[in-house]
Amino acid sequence: MLKIEKKIKKELIKTVAKSFKIKLSLEDIVLKFPPNIALGDFCFETFEIAKKIGRTAQETAKILSQNLKLDILDKVEAMGPYVNFKVKNNILFKEILGKIVKKGLAEKTKQKEKIMIEYLSPNTNKPLHLGHLRNGALGSALVEIFKASGNKVISANLINDRGVHICKSMLSWLKWGGGETPETAKMKGDHFVGKWYVKYGLEEEKKPTLKDEVQEMLKKWEAEDKEVRELWQKMNAWVYKGFKETYQKFGLKFDVFFYESKTYKLGKDIVEKGLKKGVFQKEANGQAVAQLPQSKFGLNKDGKPNKKVLLRADGTSVYTTQDLGTAVEKFKKYKLDKSIYVVGSEQDYHFKCLFEILSQLSFDFAEKCYHLSYGMVYLPEGKMKSREGKVVDGDGLIAEMEEMAKEEIKKRDLKNKLSLKELNERACKIALGAIKFYLLIANAPTDLHFDPKQSLSFEGKTGPYCLYSYARAKSVLRKANIKTKATIQAKQTNFSLLKEREALALARGLLEIKIALKDAQAELNPSKLTQAVYNLALLFNQFYQALPVINKKNPNLTQARLKLVEAVSVALKQGLNLLGLETLDEM
């Protein structure tokens, strides 16, 4: 909380006590922003107090505005049910700008938590697709957002490295691969294995009994058959090499990796114990199941309560088996306060079941698990589908976007000043920034159409627009240092000179982005921060267009405006970095 806010709240408490004999605490009071900056910097809604004292909100606001006096305020005014507060410009700017330049956007939390954020978590049968990029953008942004307020964050990646789908690509390669390798095929390893997975799908359509061979292979795998295990290791190693390249390119870092091939065993033990204790049931055909309470899961189409399979009839384990093991492993090994799973919305039901089953097993950590769910990503052509081979391949998309970014940069580089190295670096940052920003500004739960061209535009709610705004702020600061040799000292700056609507709106944009960062964390919603970054960039451009920053005849005004631009540059940079975008000083 800003000092200004605290002072206003304290004074409100005093005034309410004096005027209405009601005791309030700091937490009771919520200050909001008036819809129009001309009305003031903060406002307070009086409905609740009015109810308590049996007056109208209008009367209450009026009385409060007449009785409240505070030296940091220029004006206190009642407007309908609201009390509006206008803070003295000098004080407002000094505190906001000072705080942001010195401490950045985040407020450090008093209660530091240990949080695991699991994201990406691919299967080892195919390359990463556009949906994974949305996952990666969300997951890595969330990691940075939680870290910014001082939490201990562990980023985790669960690799689903075993199971039916993996056996499919293995069987396919064994049958039709003819000894080909990623090297001989000159393909990235994950793409190479993906090719055989797609081939399997096509063959299975012609010959459905292939499924039995896959199941046979899975049984052998679980029985640790030497040949099957060797094949599995070889093919997974190809995939990991490919994944690693993509992680590096897209800026994804992981502190720990979990492997289903390890945690599924722990999962099996947990299921066995649950069966013994009578928490789970073994059905006539031999499969182990958990019953799902009707109150939360309704009834199935036969009018019976739902259940979740935990082990197949042949004893092999399923997706849920490994997730039980993985969840226990996470809490046991890392003593977490929170465990967050970033996984697509098609698995909402799976996670609802998983958390339910964990609590049936009386694990108290069941309540500390959260699922950050996100929607599908479509390209204009339609849905991504791996089995049909029509995936929107992540690597391919990044490469294509880089090419498009290069063209755009070249168009702007009229004097051909950029070296090839600079061109490539810029294109990379702009392309990745465009993808990430586009994927992050949308609300996570909603499905989304990714429009490559629009995402790269320098206009509108895009990464390049925000990156460009940052570069513009930096350029203003650079020029100022050369032209005016201004040493930007907050203490000697006369902020009361910043009176214009555009300057005030920009100050509010700075306040809003601080709040957005807090909300993004509390609601597991990076979109909040992304919106605020865009908004700040927009307000900065409006300010820049309306008010010349450098004014040789008025060095004091120049200094105050420069200080504002400096804070904006700090806020934009930090905001963009938290979202995984790398800034450019020149664009």
Instruction: Give me the residues that bind ligand ARG (CB under 6 A), please.
Output: 118, 121-123, 158, 160, 323, 326, 341, 343
Q: What is the DSSP string of 116-144?
A: EEE----BTTS--BHHHHHHHHHHHHHHH
For the chain, the residue count is 587
Please give the C-alpha separations between residue 379 and each of 130, 138, 208, 405, 427, in angstroms, as whole numbers.
9, 18, 31, 18, 21
Closest CB to ligand ARG among residues 175, 390? 390
Closest CB to ligand ARG among residues 144, 323? 323
CB of 341 to ligand ARG, least distance (A): 6
Closest CB to ligand ARG among residues 160, 172? 160
CB of 243 to ligand ARG, least distance (A): 12
162 φ/ψ angles, rounded to the nearest 5 degrees = -145, 170
Closest CB to ligand ARG among residues 118, 402? 118
Closest CB to ligand ARG among residues 326, 455? 326
CA 494/CA 531 separation, integer angstroms: 31
Please give the C-alpha separations between residue 42 and each of 18, 48, 107, in angstroms, as whole numbers.
22, 18, 20
Closest CB to ligand ARG among residues 271, 539? 271
Closest CB to ligand ARG among residues 88, 132? 132
Closest CB to ligand ARG among residues 106, 340? 340
> Considering only CA atoms, which of 461, 446, 453, 399 is closest in space to residue 424?
399
CB of 448 to ligand ARG, least distance (A): 18
Closest CB to ligand ARG among residues 89, 326? 326
Which residues, other chains included, contact 191 with Cβ-Cβ below 8 Å and sequence gap of 6+? 127, 182, 242, 393, 395
Which residues, other chains included, contact 324 with Cβ-Cβ below 8 Å and sequence gap of 6+? 266, 267, 270, 271, 310, 354, 357, 358, 361
Report the DSSP pairing between strands 338-344 and 114-118: parallel
In angstroms, the first-to-last Cα distance of the chain is 35
Q: What is the DSSP string of 298-339?
A: -B-TTSSB-EEEEE-TTS-B-HHHHHHHHHHHHHHHH--SEE
CB of 390 to ligand ARG, least distance (A): 17
CB of 309 to ligand ARG, least distance (A): 15
CB of 214 to ligand ARG, least distance (A): 18
CB of 91 to ligand ARG, least distance (A): 49
CB of 15 to ligand ARG, least distance (A): 52
Structure tokens at 505: 């709106």
How many C-beta atoms surround the C-beta of residue 264 within 10 A? 25
